[in-house]
Amino acid sequence: MEASPRPSIHSGPQRKKALSIPVPRDDLIDFVDDIDEDGRSEDSRGGQPAWTVLVVDDDDEVHHATMFALQNAVVLERPLRLLHARSAIEAHAILAAHGHEIAVVLLDVVMETPEAGLDLVTVIRREFELSEPRIILRTGQPGYAPELNVVRDYDINDYKTKSELTHVRLVTALTAAIRSYEQIRTISASRRGLDMIVQSASELFGRRALASFAEGVLTQIAALLKIDAEGLICVRNGATFSQDLDAGLTIAGAAGRFRVHVDRPLADLAERDIVATIGRCVESGQSLFDHHATVLYFRGEGGRAAVVYVATERPLDAEDRRLLEVFAVNIGVGFENVGLFERLNFYAYYDPLTRLPNRVRFIEEVDQFLGSPAVATDFVVALLDIAGFSEVNNALGQRTGDALLMAVARRLRAAFPEGVRLARLVGDSFVLFGPASMLVPQTLMRVFDSPFHARGHGVPLRIRAGFAPVVRNADGLLPRTADLLRDAAVALGQAKLDPAVRYCAYSAQMAGQARKRVAMLNELRAAIDFQRGLTVHYQPQVDAVSNELRGVEALIRWRNERGEMVSPQDFIPLAEYTGLIGEIGAWVFRQACSQLVRWRRSGEQGLIVAVNVSALQFRQEGFVDMIRATLEATGAPADRIELEITESVAMEEVDKVAAQLRALKSLGIRIALDDFGCGFSSLSSLSRLPIDRVKVDRCFVAELDADNAGRGIVHTILRLAEGSGMSVVAEGVETVEQAGLLQQLGCREMQGFLYGRPMAADEFDIWLGQFHQERVI
């Protein structure tokens, strides 16, 4: 491929014309003694560093005229130092030796060759990679100007004919070029510092990211100032620098002799003058420039800040200060990024509320421990959660709930030694790992014996826990932490199925049961979604004295896809545990209301339908609204509907339950208390609840016999109900003898197999016809 022609700097015939710089007669003075043999101007300002200017021209008269014009010249408060080259070759040698010192190049265009000047520009920019020096092209041929693309592509600062460069114009052109040079050099220095930070960015993600960053900052500052790296960086952990110095500054990073003090308090530093200097910087909130040290103050967002102390051992000039000021802005951004990286690292591995390790960190730590050689197997994972914590959180507010979780974390941490790892998994779930001899179930339960205090509340908390021991498999391998957590969760789920159980230990049999529950849950979910297999059965409630039908209880039944009837004792606890009970309960209530309307249309005006309400459903937000909406949608009369709640539900937060019941009563709904006598309710508590009827639990009915066994409890229940104006129905009546004894004690209404099993609606219609027929007979 043919090379592209070089852009011409001028057009027309190229002629070399020697032209001196015109100098006014008043300026013609003897200056020879002010120029040394090397052509350098002596510094007449007491050692102030000079700007270096390279003059490249093949005409000696131009060199002398330039020296004459610039004698004693001061640009931006600094003198000039001239270097002279009379050919491109000489200029090349000077650039090789002094290139990084040169601020401006006064360059003749035509020298040995017509393109010698332009070739030298290429050498400066590309060969020596000197982007900072400013280039002023000079030519003795007026009327010829470089093309715009030449000025742009070769970064030429200015173009002048030699006849234009009078004393004033030459100084003006140099001043503009030197100012540009200084700005570019400052920016380049700042860019180099940022490049150093970028190159070390990967270190910021390490365990000591702040220390690595701090040491890098000190090294970069030293490189900018061309001094040895001697200094330190201070931060305040968990506080801002608006607080007193006594609050505690920590040395986050250091270089040189200060390196041994990293992670130590600044107050421990033996060199008290350094401590005092840093203190002055903190108090003023500004950087300090002393004769022997420089202290930079970096202010970040949110009150965060850092102090950098550098032992400069000399006062910094204006250029160095400007460099540091530019550098400080960039470092301030970098310092913020370090804070961000560390915060991201914290949120990735720790719970921000309790500051305990989270699930990810817990798994990493335990996996690392189990991967170490000769690990004993007498270790265990304990997974726990707080029973009913969501209700506590809703009742007392999220801030109190958060305070309770922090109190739980503190008490758990204090109850077990450092050898036990503790983490918060999610919500109100915590996990511990440690020797089985330390993580004893009874010990864990005792942690929650006394109430937890938060924001003026003393709250008793109850937990359930699942334990998973570390056991080697058939190949002698230890389990992974994720597997241990899964096993502990299975054990915890087993414990939750029985309200009386507080903890369970994992077993292989339990895993099989868990798989069956998961399969059952999937089938139940499908039954709800597709309305397959779920039906409502109705069991009659009879007045045994008048032999009249008083009402029915609606009971859920489920036939799975294999045609098998699933016991409510199996799927109801599972539905309650998974939260499906709310959806199931709403469906049962809607079916019961619709069936009541059909019976009333067929003439059964006095029939009352009782529907069970689970504890979870009763506490759900919008429960009363759901009842109201269903009554309106089906047209069922509210006074013919009875909702049954258990005694345990009634006794949880009595005031809140009473308010919920009153809201239901305002709709006209009847309220019954199921399983009465099985709990620990007091008469005073029950009297605060708007109860219409109580149900004697089947366990008391089963104990009734001719020898007076069980009579006392039933008699007491009947008297309590009668004194409170409540009616009574006994459930689980299976024999004529039980019915007779209940009548002797004063109980008229009964429910049980003696009168009828739970039946589907069409079966109940047949039973109802037979019941009416038998009454007529």
What's the whole-number mean pLDDT along residues 570-592?
Answer: 88
Q: Which of 147-156, 504-513, 745-754 is the most confident on average?
A: 745-754
pLDDT at 21 over 50: no
Predicted local distance difference test score (pLDDT) of residue 678:
60
How confident is the prediction for the chain on average, in pLDDT?
Answer: 81
By mean pLDDT, which of 7-11, 228-232, 383-387 is the weakest?
Answer: 7-11
631-689 pLDDT, tens digit each: 999 999 999 999 999 877 777 677 788 889 999 999 999 999 887 766 545 555 667 78
Query: Quick check: helix, strand or coil at residue 3?
Result: coil
386-440 pLDDT, tens digit each: 988 887 887 788 888 899 999 999 999 999 988 899 999 988 999 999 999 999 9
Contact 646, 581 (CB under 8 A): no
- Pick the more confident residue, 45 or 241: 45
Task: State the pTM of this model.
Answer: 0.48
- Pick the more confident residue, 209 or 711: 711
Residue 124 is given by DSSP the state I
Contacts of residue 204, Cβ cutoff 8 Å, sequence gap at least 6? 212, 213, 337, 338, 341
What's the whole-number mean pLDDT along residues 518-545?
Answer: 88
By mean pLDDT, which of 52-61, 111-120, 219-228, 712-721 is the weakest?
Answer: 219-228
Give the DSSP letter string of 31-69.
-GGGB-TT-PBP--SSSPPPEEEEEE-S-HHHHHHHHHH
- Residue 527 is encoded by which pair of tokens? 């039954």
Predicted local distance difference test score (pLDDT) of residue 526:
86
CA gap 505, 492 in Å, rounded? 8
Contact 675, 647 (CB under 8 A): yes
By mean pLDDT, which of 250-264, 400-414, 441-455 is the weakest?
Answer: 250-264
Q: Which of 144-148, 476-480, 622-626 is the most confident on average?
A: 622-626
What confidence tier does 34 reach under pLDDT thresholds 50, 70, 90?
Answer: very low
CA 591 to chain centre: 45
Give the DSSP letter string of 623-678.
HHHHHHHHHHHH---GGGEEEEEEHHHHTSSHHHHHHHHHHHHTTT-EEEEEEETS
What's the whole-number mean pLDDT along residues 551-564?
Answer: 91
Predicted local distance difference test score (pLDDT) of residue 649:
77
pLDDT at 201 over 50: no
Single-letter residue type at 758: P
Query: For residue 379, which of 306, 468, 272 has the smallest C-alpha distance?
Result: 468
91-136 pLDDT, tens digit each: 999 999 998 899 999 998 888 888 888 889 989 988 998 988 999 9
- What whole-number percentage of the chain has pLDDT above 70? 80
Predicted local distance difference test score (pLDDT) of residue 408:
94
- Pick the more confident residue, 611 or 477: 611
Contacts of residue 512, Cβ cutoff 8 Å, sequence gap at least 6? none
320-356 pLDDT, tens digit each: 787 777 677 666 666 666 666 666 677 788 998 999 9
CB atoms near residue 531 (< 10 Å): 9
- Residue 185 is encoded by which pair of tokens? 């050099």
CA gap 73, 175 in Å, rounded? 10
Total count of residues recorded for the chain: 777
3-class secondary structure per residue, 581-634: HHHHHHHHHHHHHHHHHHHHHCCCCCCEEEEECCHHHHHCCCHHHHHHHHHHHH
- Residue 220 is encoded by which pair of tokens? 């970069």
Give the DSSP letter string of 697-764.
-HHHHHT--TT-TTHHHHHHHHHHHHHTT-EEEEE---SHHHHHHHHHHT--EEESTTT---EEHHHH
